[in-house]
Amino acid sequence: MKNSFLDKLLHRMDRVGSDDLQIYLQRLAKEKGFLETIFNTLQEGILVIDQKGKILYFNSSAQNLIGIPNEKALDEPIAKYLRDFDWKTILADGKVLTRDIEVSYPEERFLSSYIVPLTDDHHMIHAYALILHDLTRYREKTLETIESEKINALTVLAAGVAHELGNPLNSLNIHFQLLERELRKKGGDSPDIQEHIRVVRGEIERLDSIIHQFLQALRPATLERQPASINEVIQESLMVLKPEIDDRDILLETDYGIDLPPIQIDRNRMKQVFYNLIKNAIQATRKGGILKIATGANDTHLLIAFIDNGVGIPAENITRLSEPFFTTKPLGSGLGLLIVRRIIREHGGELQIDSQEGIGTTVRLLLPLTEKRVRMLTR
Ligand code: ADP
Ligand code: MG
């Protein structure tokens, strides 16, 4: 602060008349105000504390970052706001110090702190500047990146393992069939053995379906989008499942919206979505139940609803639906909804599931209309 306006003023103090003094004081206040304004626009929190750790100054960022309520905090100990520091040692050492800290008040934040002693002309420490920098967002970003890279690596690994499982499984299947044939030839297929065979075959099929679906869920999707009529795609998906619907005596009600705008979708992937959702509804519904499928549109989205009056999903399971492998079915894979969610997300859409135990489940899909309906302006 050498040569500052204040120094000059102090030197001349004895010569300053009382009228001038007022002008000088006004200028001083202005200079201080100017600096304060600048300090308050900084994103960094800045505090000055004295050798005993009392707060002498704080800017508005510091106030936000560590939750200083008001001006009354001046003269309060800094330890009241930043407890994690060993202030006694810091203030005794008089060294420059940097440290990352986490604060929980007024918000969970991650801060980097920098403490510098301020010295006078004789190298005597008379105060400390404490500078705080908010790293919360930066750290979240970093963690997100690490997380998504971890997931990528795991995905590649998992897909590799699943793929490798396919070959021995195939061979197992073939040899099992041969074994079965041999047994039959030798007349060794008693009811007991037949039961064992049935179980093994069922398990092989289950493994095969898990691997198949798992790979499907992981497959990096490059969507092949083409304009399609959503009603048509639903009808095609229904065709495959029609025998199952009839077999279970389920009443299918369809309410197709008319004049729906065509939508840019990957037809095959979208069929996978409908297939999975309809299959879930069928599996949840008792004989003679009802499955309703409705489509419609608003200005921005196509809406598709699958409404069943099946067993429903208990509240404690609703949150688990996004977990891979979550299933309540003895032969389920728990991957269906994962595949559905992923495909819908890739189309920029949204999946909503409402369910009441014992009453039924409604699954809604919202797909953004890429080509918004153009409204003509009439004059
Ligand atoms: P999976 O069908 O192989 O079990 P999904 O991911 O398709 O795997 O579904 C996960 C679970 O969500 C199911 O096991 C079931 O408990 C529940 N679920 C999904 N759809 C419905 C539905 N329409 N009605 C009742 N429960 C459902
Ligand atoms: Mg399913």
Judgement on whether residues 289 and 369 belong to the same structural domain of the protein: yes
Q: What angle do CA 96, 100, 104 make, to 5 degrees?
A: 130
The count of residues in the chain is 379
Reported as a single tens digit per residue, the pLDDT across 205-227 is 888 888 888 887 777 667 889 99
Name the closest ligand to CA 292: 1
Q: Is the Cβ atom of 51 under 6 angstroms away from ligand 1?
A: no
Residues 27-33, mean pLDDT to the nearest whole number: 82
Q: What is the CATH number of the domain that holds 183?
A: 1.10.287
Q: Which of 81, 115, 136 is the last residue of a domain?
A: 136
Q: Is the Cβ atom of 215 under 6 angstroms away from ligand 1?
A: no
Reported as a single tens digit per residue, the pLDDT across 247-296 is 999 999 999 999 999 999 999 889 989 999 999 999 999 999 999 999 99
Range of the domain at 27: 5-136
Judgement on whether residues 373 and 240 belong to the same structural domain of the protein: yes
Judgement on whether residues 199 and 249 belong to the same structural domain of the protein: no
Q: What is the CATH number of the domain that holds 378?
A: 3.30.565.10
Q: Which of 102, 119, 136 is the last residue of a domain?
A: 136
Closest-CA residue, ligand 1 atom 8, reads: 334
Contact 319, 355 (CB under 8 A): no
> From ligand 1's centre to the CA of 135, what distance in Å?
41
Judgement on whether residues 236 and 257 belong to the same structural domain of the protein: yes
DSSP 320: G
What sign has the CA pseudo-torsion 32, 34, 37, 41?
negative
Q: What is the CATH number of the domain that holds 103?
A: 3.30.450.20
Judgement on whether residues 317 and 295 belong to the same structural domain of the protein: yes
Judgement on whether residues 89 and 152 belong to the same structural domain of the protein: no
Judgement on whether residues 112 and 197 belong to the same structural domain of the protein: no
Reported as a single tens digit per residue, the pLDDT across 156-197 is 788 788 888 888 899 999 999 999 999 889 887 788 888 988
Q: Which of 196, 219, 242 is the last residue of a domain?
A: 219
Judgement on whether residues 347 and 288 belong to the same structural domain of the protein: yes
Reported as a single tens digit per residue, the pLDDT across 73-121 is 999 999 999 988 889 998 888 888 888 889 988 999 999 999 999 988 8
pTM for the structure as a whole: 0.55
Judgement on whether residues 173 and 288 belong to the same structural domain of the protein: no
Number of domains the chain contains? 3
Judgement on whether residues 313 and 363 belong to the same structural domain of the protein: yes
Judgement on whether residues 144 and 128 belong to the same structural domain of the protein: no
Name the closest ligand to CA 339: 1
